[in-house]
Amino acid sequence: MAATRYRRFLKLCEEWPVEETKRQRDLGVFLRQRVAQAFREGENTAIADPEACDQMYESLVRIHTNYYKNKYPRLKHTNFTGVTVEDCKMILSTDILKQMEDMKKGTWKKLREKFYAKKPEEDSK
């Protein structure tokens, strides 16, 4: 039975898209890592709690298939701010978030990072 569960999780991982704009913060990448960690021995992995495993799989399938989005359709595709889904995806991309972090840095910190090869944390030691 563990082999069947393993194959189902692998199929789900194959179908789950990887969003390139969210490097190291993507749910698809995290899911693949967790499946690899949980099924270290592949089909021969012993599952401690099969019911919890099946429940986790069913929950992930509902997320992947947009079950609740389809069950409870929205009247408008914006939120209370009026921002569209495309705008939210752009704002939450890793590159934009990095730019916002850079904007928060002070002038001295920017200069120090620019001219010193070592990290600022090493300076304080």
- 38 and 95, same domain (yes or no): no
**Domain of 103?**
77-118
Q: What does the pLDDT read at residue 24?
A: 76
Q: Are 2 and 47 in contact (CB under 8 A)?
A: yes
**Look-up: residue for tokens 């934009």?**
96
- 102 and 69, same domain (yes or no): no
Whole-model pTM: value is 0.62
- 67 and 84, same domain (yes or no): no
Distances (CA, A) of 2 to 39, 49, 52, 58: 9, 11, 13, 15
Q: What does the pLDDT read at residue 122?
A: 55
- 13 and 38, same domain (yes or no): yes
Q: Which residues of the chain have pLDDT under 50?
A: none
